[in-house]
């Protein structure tokens, strides 16, 4: 069980609960290696994926996670819903509430959409990404991947590189790293930093090459061209030359350090294809971790061992 009924931001989970989620995910990761990857744990529970923005990894992994736990998973896609007829988010939420869901995963372009749902729905809400605010289950799967790759979380130095100001991934990963005793360092051009980078609680740097030798993890962010009001740098080529991860920069990292990216990648902008596909990249491990971590989140939010069926 978790103390909070929801995971809307990283404020909803304590450091101890993060470790509990990661430990629980480890047992589900073992299940995911079996030939029959199904447990009866959430049989009879209804989980709705409410996605108003595109997604491959988050939506698919929540869907797979709910199926592996035998929940009844339902997918809502905004483009084929009454949203296109003008139905508001609140009316959609009230409509779903009338159908008695147990858990809703929501992705929306507006920060605060999960909190809005929680006010009118009597079920658990998981934030699958709200605008430029937070994406907490991404942070949890990133912590899981770091722990699996490097054997620990405490003391790690994690460089989060690139489009900080538009990144809900950074919005959750910075507080998540701080909770577990790791050090986040945000690195990027001034045009992609928030107005007050100091208030995020991370170290701030502008010269990637200077920081690389001190990192355990180089975490490249996608440049979110769709959220920028105007092109935030002169050209993709200039961005890549100053902040892109490439073979020369990979060589500047300590030998044990790993490269991460939440996906989807702009290959050739924030990361070159040879680095993305190299042995130092754990990008597909992040995707794999996503299923186990989201199984753990659903299991613990919906009662865990108290639901009557243990993993």
CB of 178 to ligand CP, least distance (A): 21
Binding mask 57-96 for ligand CP (x = CB under 6 A): xx--------------------------------------
- Note whether 55 binds ligand CP by CB under 6 A: yes
Q: Using CB under 6 A, pick the residue from 56, 88, 191, 241 that binds ligand CP.
A: 56
Distance CA 184, CA 198 (A): 12
End-to-end CA distance of the chain: 13
| 92's tokens | 């959609």
Neighbouring residues of 264: CB distance < 8 A, sequence distance ≥ 6:
56, 57, 222
Distance CA 36, CA 26 (A): 17
Distance CA 284, CA 299 (A): 23
Q: Give the residue with the Cβ less far from ligand CP, 128 or 188.
A: 128
Note every long-range contact of 76-84, with CB atoms under 8 Å and residues 24 or more positions apart, other chains counting.
Answer: 76/48, 76/49, 76/50, 76/51, 77/51, 78/51, 78/52, 78/53, 83/52
Q: Using CB under 6 A, pick the residue from 179, 262, 269, 299 that binds ligand CP.
A: 262
Binding mask 139-178 for ligand CP (x = CB under 6 A): ----------------------------------------
Which segment (22-30, 51-59, 109-117, 225-233) binds ligand CP by CB under 6 A? 51-59
Binding mask 203-242 for ligand CP (x = CB under 6 A): ----------------------------------------
Which segment (14-22, 38-46, 56-64, 111-119) binds ligand CP by CB under 6 A? 56-64
Q: Which residues pair with 107 in a beta bridge?
A: 51
Q: Which residues pair with 245 in a beta bridge?
A: 271
Dihedral sign for Cα atoms in the order 198, 202, 207, 210: positive
**Residue 105: closest CA among 307, 261, 295, 311:** 295
Q: Give the residue with the Cβ less far from ligand CP, 129 or 159.
A: 129
Q: Using CB under 6 A, pick the residue from 189, 263, 268, 303 that binds ligand CP.
A: 263
Q: Give the residue with the Cβ less far from ligand CP, 9 or 138.
A: 138
Q: Using CB under 6 A, pick the residue from 127, 138, 149, 272 that binds ligand CP.
A: 138
CB of 195 to ligand CP, least distance (A): 24
Q: Using CB under 6 A, pick the residue from 114, 129, 188, 232 that binds ligand CP.
A: 129
| Cβ atoms 161, 219 nearer than 8 A | yes
Q: Which residues pair with 104 in a beta bridge?
A: 48, 125
Which segment (26-34, 55-63, 174-182, 230-238) binds ligand CP by CB under 6 A? 55-63
Neighbouring residues of 12: CB distance < 8 A, sequence distance ≥ 6:
2, 4, 6, 136
Residue ranges that bind ligand CP, judged by CB under 6 A: 55-58, 129, 138, 262-264
């Amino acid at each position: 069980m978790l103390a909070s009924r929801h995971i809307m931001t990283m404020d909803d989970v304590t450091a101890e609960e993060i470790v509990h989620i990661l430990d629980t995910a480890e047992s589900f990761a073992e299940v995911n290696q079996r030939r029959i990857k199904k447990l009866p744990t959430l049989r009879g529970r209804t989980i709705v994926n409410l996605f108003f923005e595109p997604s491959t990894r988050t939506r698919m992994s929540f869907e797979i996670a709910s199926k592996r736990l035998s929940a009844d998973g339902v997918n809502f896609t905004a483009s084929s819903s009454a949203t296109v007829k003008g139905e508001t988010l609140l009316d959609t939420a009230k409509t779903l509430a009338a159908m008695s869901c147990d858990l809703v995963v929501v992705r929306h372009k507006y920060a605060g959409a999960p909190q809005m749902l929680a006010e009118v729905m009597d079920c658990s809400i998981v934030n699958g990404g709200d605008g430029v605010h937070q994406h907490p289950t991404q942070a949890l799967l990133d912590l899981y991947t770091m722990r699996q790759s490097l054997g620990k979380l405490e003391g790690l130095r994690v460089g989060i590189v690139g489009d900080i100001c538009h990144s809900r991934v950074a919005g959750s990963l910075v507080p998540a790293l701080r909770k577990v005793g790791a050090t986040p360092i945000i690195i990027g051009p001034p045009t992609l930093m928030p107005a007050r980078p100091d208030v995020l609680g991370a170290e701030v740097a502008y010269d990637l090459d200077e920081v690389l030798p001190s990192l355990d993890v180089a975490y490249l962010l996608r440049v979110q061209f769709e959220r920028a009001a105007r092109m935030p740098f002169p050209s993709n080529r200039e961005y890549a030359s100053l902040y892109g991860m490439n073979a020369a920069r990979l060589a500047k990292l300590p030998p044990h350090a790993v490269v991460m990216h939440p996906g989807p990648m702009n290959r050739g902008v924030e990361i070159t294809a040879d680095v993305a596909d190299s042995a130092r990249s754990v990008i597909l491990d992040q995707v794999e971790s996503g299923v186990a971590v989201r199984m753990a989140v659903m299991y613990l939010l919906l009662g865990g061992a108290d639901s009557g069926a243990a993993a």
